[in-house]
A and B are shown apart, each in its own frame.
Chain A
Amino acid sequence: QSALTQPASVSGSPGQSITISCTGTSSDVGNSNVVSWYQQRPGKAPQLIIYEVSKRPSGVSNRFSGSKSGNTASLTISGLQAEDEADYYCCSFAFTNTWVFGGGTKLTVL
């Protein structure tokens, strides 16, 4: 149950787009259509922003989008806003009937 690999930090200016990668293996991301992404602001519980690789829950901005290629999933945030500054985590359901999270990525809006 090794953690998925995410960059520790990414940054961007308001209005720009950024992409956060999430790399796993063929035992999780590579053979899973149930990759999800979470936003966590300081001191708060995580919030689901993407599920099943690319679907957005009701109420989540369409500036957030997800995709997957091979063993790597990606979260793209377009039109960066100051309120997007947070930690982002990917997660995948794995063959071992477990869920595995990424280590998290800190997004800084410059």
Chain B
Amino acid sequence: EVQLVESGGGLVQPGGSLRLSCAASGFTFSSYTMNWVRQAPGKGLEWISYINTISANRWYADSVKGRFTISRDNAKNSLWLQMNSLRVEDTAVYYCVRDSHYAFDYWGQGTLVTVSS
């Protein structure tokens, strides 16, 4: 069974940093590209970052470019999102998402990040 388990969310002040983690199991992690997608409270979905299988290509939404960094370790079946210079508008549930055929086929349960003073 495919499982994606996020952790690392919490309350952080504007300008602060947070590192989200995603532990993957139930599939060959090294064979799949991975993403982070977020959802602000009561709002829609927003794709924010992608990483390919060997970390050679990393793409970001304009809203997070230069502030967030995606990374992975295939030996540890893990995905991370380093978030710096956090803003109030980054408050959201962050989902770790596997993609296949450019569609997001498995989602974690999400971790809530709250940016507030």
Do these two chains interact? yes
Could you tell me the distance between the alpha carbons of A89 and B109 in the complex, rounded to whole angstroms?
A: 17
**Chain A-chain B contacts (Cβ-Cβ < 8 Å), number:** 60
Q: Which residue of chain A has its CB nearest to the CB of B4?
A: A45
Give chain B residues whose Cβ lies under 8 Å from the Cβ of A48.
103-105
Q: How many of chain A's residues have a CB under 8 angstroms from any CB in B?
A: 24
Q: In the complex where A1-B61, A1-B62 touch, is A100 in contact with B47 (Cβ < 8 A)?
A: yes
Give chain B residues whose Cβ lies under 8 Å from the Cβ of A34.
101-103
B110 to chain A: closest CB distance in Å? 6
Q: In the complex where A45-B109, A98-B59 touch, is A51 in contact with B44 (Cβ < 8 A)?
A: no
Which residues of chain A have a CB within 8 Å of any CB of chain B? 1, 3, 34, 36, 38, 40, 45-48, 51-52, 57, 89, 91, 93, 97-104
Which residues of chain B have a CB within 8 Å of any CB of chain A? 35, 44-47, 50, 59, 61-63, 95, 100-105, 107-110
